[in-house]
Amino acid sequence: MNNYGNVEIKIVDLQRHSHNIYKFLLYYNPYDQNTVNSWFYLASGIEYVHFLSDKYDDYVQWCGSAIEYENHRSKFHSDLILNLTRFNYIWGGLEAFIDSFDFPNCPSRSGKINKVNYYLKINFLENYEMIEFYKETVYYLKKLLSLNSWYLNDSEINSISECECKELIGLKIVYKIRNLFAHGSLKFSEPDGWHHTTPYDNEIIITSTRLVLFTLQMLFISVYDDLNFKIPKRLHDRIEKGAKASDFLFSMHLKSYKYN
């Protein structure tokens, strides 16, 4: 299944990707430290979460298999909480960005995400090249969801409204996943080897986070007209040696990208 591994080795990790979103916003307007870029700044620095599943269960230590199970569960859920935390900050940044612009409503449905999907359908799809590896990432997320079908069914994944198009369906799928844990409907899995179905929760959240970042790149490309500035490889480097902002928006996620 993991042909997507060939993609993962070519793209930066989520922290760097989030930092690059932050860096674009910072250099676009260095004199305005607004609430949008702070979300991505915080997301880029989240390193670890430690969850102890048997913290208040004194009897676990009486059974070797119980100790082994709780160790696996602690590791699995620590990773999941970490990935959900990073996702939440990046999603918060997306919503903050949407609120900062007067996007037109989708004619048939209300809501922020419908606005964005409709805007990208009209303004990005016909005017710009697709972000590299976006399609592969959507396909991979669909595959993961098919293996853990308690997240979404085929109809929820593949149905298209007037606000959306199949070429840019990623954010719509991620929005439905986000609603599961935002509204208390997410089923928390058991760690691998302790249940009859292999859990892909962490991969689902990581891949969803990547699609939010890709969507932000598309939004920046289609929203911002004045891209006559450069972005350095590292903060505080000399700007004249940096990348053109217009190129950076298409390539900030690629390990192979050269700044000059």
Torsion of the alpha carbons at 238, 240, 246 and 250, rounded to the nearest 10: -50
Q: Cα separation of 176 and 117, whole Å? A: 13
Range of the domain at 163: 2-45+77-251
Asked whether residue 55 is domain-assigned, the answer is: no
202 located within any domain: yes
**76, 22, 29: which is closest to 49 by C-alpha?**
76
User: Is a pLDDT exceeding 60 seen at residue 62?
Assistant: no
In whole angstroms, give the CA distance from residue 166 to residue 120.
12
Domain presence at residue 200:
yes
Per-residue pLDDT band at 187 (split at 50, 70, 90): confident
Distance CA 176, CA 80 (A): 18
Which residues share a beta bridge with 254?
Answer: 11
Determine the average pLDDT of the residues in 17-34.
Answer: 89
Angle made by CA atoms 102, 104, 107, in degrees to the nearest 5:
155
Helices (H), 45-111: 64-99
Cα dihedral across residues 96, 133, 228, 224: positive or negative: negative
- The answer to the question of residue 181 being in a domain is yes
What would the two tokens of residue 198 be?
A: 């292999």
3-state secondary structure of 231: strand
The predicted-structure confidence for 190-236, as pLDDT tens digits, reads as follows 887 667 788 999 999 999 999 999 999 999 999 998 899 999 988 87
98-118 per-position pLDDT tens digit: 999 999 999 988 999 999 999
User: For the chain, how big is the Rg over CA atoms in Å?
Assistant: 20
Residue 72 lies in a domain: no
Domain count, the chain: 1
Flag whether 60 is in a domain: no
In contact, 129 and 218? CB cutoff 8 Å: no
Mean pLDDT is lowest, of 11-20, 68-77, 81-90, 108-117, for: 68-77
Q: How far apart are CA 243 and CA 128, in angstroms?
A: 19
Question: Among candidates 158, 110, 124, 161, which has minimal Cα distance to 138?
Answer: 158
Q: What does the pLDDT average to over 153-162? A: 90
Q: Is residue 61 part of a domain?
A: no
In a domain, 51, yes or no: no
Task: Give the C-alpha separation, 187 to 164, whole Å.
Answer: 27
